Amino acid sequence: MTSLLLIAGVLVAMFVAYNIGGSTTGPAFGPAVGADAISKPVAAALMGVFFFIGAWTLGRNVVTKLGTELVVNTSVFTLESSIAVLFFIGLALLIGNLFGVPASTSMTAVGAIAGLALAAGVLDFAVMGQIVIWWVVSPIIGFWVSLVIGRYFYARLNRLIAIERSTGSLFDLDRSGVVPIPRVHKTTNRRELVGTVTVVAIGCLMAFASGTSNIANAVAPLVGSGELAMNPAIIFGGIAVAIGSFTIARRTLETMGSGLTELPLTAAIVVASISSTLVVFLSALGIPASFVIIATMSTVGLGWGRATRPRTAPEIVTGNGGPPVTVDALAADKEGETLPPIGAEDVEDIPDPGALFNPVMTARVVLMQNVVPAIATVGAYLTFRFVPISGF
């Protein structure tokens, strides 16, 4: 009977990891895909590789700690209760993925474990409070930093980076030998190549960071119960994440790459840099990083900032009259156009700022990213509070 339960537990853990791959690939590589730097299959492959590296190296420490930080008595993690917790994590993440919205894996997993701990009366409220505070503060920081950059510094930053997409692919495959060798396409310029490598490298860093923290969300309850060893758990989880990246992650890649805002290569670098910096900072503090929320709010902040681009004080003084206006700066960047001075645009030619900031999509994302963890938390609490479970 125990063997059957363990097999069921491994399958449920892989189901959770599968949905982790679906929900975290978008925030990590959505900017690169949205900027046409890499394709979705390449993003999925990179996600699988770097997630596994992060999980195999630093992730095992988080797996060990997740089962002890939120609860004051680890005996609450029986095989049966672990399976139930993983089920609610996977179910909640699946709902977010089906809606094409990347849900926070850390928030969902911590919520489910907190529901279990609260029902058993072993929740450490001090630790939970510290985590929640950072979950609230970090997306706000990402949003406002991105908004300020988009509103006041993006045009100047874009001129410094000056990444313009050329026609055709970045690389060609030289098939003259036995093994195909990728070579830089003849129309690819150096700035474009450097920018592409940068945004993809940041995505790989975010995938690595995801592996260090999110592998615990899939396998920590089983490892904590003592029923599954660490190394097999990481291998099973890594395989399932890769499968999720190649399949269900396609919708979240579209949402993060183009659904929230038009995202050229320069903007992708800004969003990925801010998000990855905050994630690394939170990881250093030992906080389960909700980089899905951080990346989403950074994307929204940058798009909103560009959609409300103002005139500067010198331009007002020099008589570039008319009310403050907006400009489709990201779209201009995407086409390699030169932007007019701030405040000198022809008001009649200014497109709808909704092309830069999609309030409907943003509201949908914010709503689902709060609903999904709530489903896991409430579902786990009610189950362990009112439904008899063997061993609990």
Which helix (H) or strand (E) covers residue 278, if one does? helix 265-284
pLDDT tens digit sequence for 15-69: 889 988 887 888 788 767 876 778 889 999 999 999 999 999 888 887 877 777 7
Percent of the chain with pLDDT over 70: 69
Judged against a pLDDT cut of 90, whether residue 389 lies above it is answered with no
Q: How distant is the alpha carbon of residue 222 from its chain centre? A: 25
Of the given ranges (71-85, 274-288, 354-368), which has the lowest mean pLDDT? Answer: 354-368
pLDDT average, residue stretch 307-319: 57
**13 vs 167: which has the higher pLDDT:** 13
Contact criterion met (CB below 8 Å) for 113 and 87? no
Rounded CA-CA distance 217/12 in Å is: 12
pLDDT average, residue stretch 149-171: 70
Q: Left if phi > 0, otherwise alpha if psi is -120 to 50, otherwise beta: which for 304?
A: alpha
pLDDT for the residue numbered 243: 95
10 Å Cβ neighbour count for 246?
Answer: 19
Mean of all residue pLDDT scores within the chain:
75
Measured in degrees and rounded to the nearest 5, phi and psi for residue 339 equal: -80, 145
pLDDT tens digit sequence for 162-218: 555 555 556 666 667 777 676 665 655 666 677 778 878 888 988 998 888 788 888
Contact criterion met (CB below 8 Å) for 258 and 29? no
pLDDT tens digit sequence for 101-130: 666 778 888 888 888 888 888 888 888 888
Rounded CA-CA distance 247/358 in Å is: 26
H-only helix segments in 149-264: 154-161, 190-224, 230-246, 249-254
DSSP state of 123: B
Q: Which residue has the tokens 């998000």?
A: 275
10 Å Cβ neighbour count for 227?
Answer: 19
Q: What residues contact residue 48 under an 8 Å CB cut-off, 6+ apart? A: 21, 238, 241, 242, 245, 246
* Token pair recorded at residue 196: 């592409």
Helix, strand, or coil (residue 71):
strand
pLDDT tens digit sequence for 252-299: 676 655 554 455 667 777 877 888 788 778 776 777 777 767 877 888
Closest by Cα among 41, 295, 299, 255 to 150: 299
Q: Left if phi > 0, otherwise alpha if psi is -120 to 50, otherwise beta: which for 82?
A: alpha
Contact criterion met (CB below 8 Å) for 294 and 275? yes
User: Can you give the length of the chain in residues?
Assistant: 392
Contact criterion met (CB below 8 Å) for 214 and 105? yes
Judged against a pLDDT cut of 70, whether residue 344 lies above it is answered with no
Q: How distant is the alpha carbon of residue 245 from its chain centre? A: 12
Judged against a pLDDT cut of 80, whether residue 140 lies above it is answered with yes
Q: What residues contact residue 220 under an 8 Å CB cut-off, 6+ apart? A: 62, 63, 66, 67, 109
C-alpha distances (whole Å) from 250 to each of 25, 39, 42 are: 9, 10, 12
pLDDT for the residue numbered 335: 44
Closest by Cα among 75, 190, 120, 149 to 299: 149
Q: How confident is the model at residue 332 (pLDDT cuts 50, 70, 90)?
A: very low
Q: CA-based Rg of the chain, rounded to a whole angstrom?
A: 23
pLDDT for the residue numbered 47: 95
Domain boundaries along the sequence of the chain: 2-386
pTM above 0.75, yes or no: no
Q: What residues contact residue 321 under an 8 Å CB cut-off, 6+ apart? A: none
pLDDT for the residue numbered 94: 78
Rounded CA-CA distance 215/235 in Å is: 10
Contact criterion met (CB below 8 Å) for 209 and 280? yes
* Token pair recorded at residue 190: 């150096």
10 Å Cβ neighbour count for 251?
Answer: 18
pLDDT for the residue numbered 391: 54
Judged against a pLDDT cut of 90, whether residue 235 lies above it is answered with yes
